A and B are shown apart, each in its own frame.
Chain A
Amino acid sequence: MRISLQPAYLLHRKPFRDSSQLLEVLTAEHGRISLVAKGVRRKARGGNTSALVQPFSPLLVSFSGRGEMKTLTHAELAGAPWMLRGERLFSGLYLNELMIRLLQRYDPHPMVFARYGETLAALASSAAAEPILRRFEMHLLEELGYRLSLEVEADTGEALDPNAWYRLDPDAGLVACAGTIPEIQRYQGSDLLAIAKDDIQGSSATTAKRLLRQALAVHLGDAPLRSRSLFRQYANAGDRQTPTQDESSL
Chain B
Amino acid sequence: MKFSPALESLIEALRCLPGVGPRSAQRMSLHLLERDREGAETLAQSLTEAVEKIGHCSRCRNFAEETLCEICADPRRDRSTVCVVESPADVLALEQSASYRGVYFVLMGHLSPIDGIGPDDIGLDVFQRQVTDGEVKEVILATNPTVEGEATAYFLTDMLAGTGISLTRIAHGVPLGGELEYVDGSTLAHALSGRVPVDAQR
Contacts and interface: CB of A to CB of B under 8 A. Distances in A.
Interface of A: 11-12, 14, 17-18, 45-47, 51-52, 54-57, 77, 80-81, 85-86, 89-90, 92-94, 96-97, 100, 225-227, 229-230, 233-234, 237-239
Contacts of B154: 85-86, 89-90, 234
A77 B185 contact: yes
B159 interface: yes
8 contacts: A17-B18, A46-B182, A54-B146, A86-B158, A93-B113, A226-B118, A230-B118, A237-B119
Contact of A229 (B19, B118, B159): B118
Contacts of B115: 12, 14
B151 A47 contact: no
Interface string B178-191: 01001111110100
A230 B162 contact: no
A54 B172 CA distance: 16
Interface string B118-155: 11000000000000000000000000001100110011
Interface of B: 18-19, 111, 113-116, 118-119, 146-147, 150-151, 154-155, 157-159, 161-162, 179, 182-187, 189
A94 B147 CA distance: 13
Contact of B187 (A51, A80, A94, A238): A51
A78 B10 CA distance: 48
A56 B119 CA distance: 22
Nearest to B145: A51
B186 A234 contact: no
Contacts of A89: 147, 150-151, 154
B118 A238 contact: no
Contacts of A226: 113-114, 116, 118
Nearest to B17: A18
Nearest to A52: B184
A17 B113 CA distance: 22
A96 B186 contact: no
A89 B154 CA distance: 9
Contact of B114 (A52, A100, A238): A100
Contact of A238 (B150, B159, B184, B185): B159
B182 A54 contact: no
A234 B158 contact: yes
A234 B159 CA distance: 8
Given A80-B189, A89-B154, A239 B183 contact: no
Contacts of B146: 54
Contact of B113 (A18, A81, A97, A237): A97
A227 B113 contact: yes
Nearest to A49: B184
Given A17-B19, A47-B184, A57-B186, A238 B113 contact: no
Contact of B119 (A86, A92, A233, A238): A233
B71 to A, nearest CB: 26
Contacts of B161: 238
A57 B151 CA distance: 16
Given A225-B113, A230-B111, 11 more contacts: A51-B184, A54-B147, A54-B186, A80-B189, A85-B154, A86-B157, A90-B151, A226-B113, A230-B119, A234-B155, A238-B162
A54 B186 CA distance: 10
B127 to A, nearest CB: 11
B113 A80 contact: no
A233 B151 CA distance: 12
Given A93-B147, A230-B113, A80 B159 contact: no
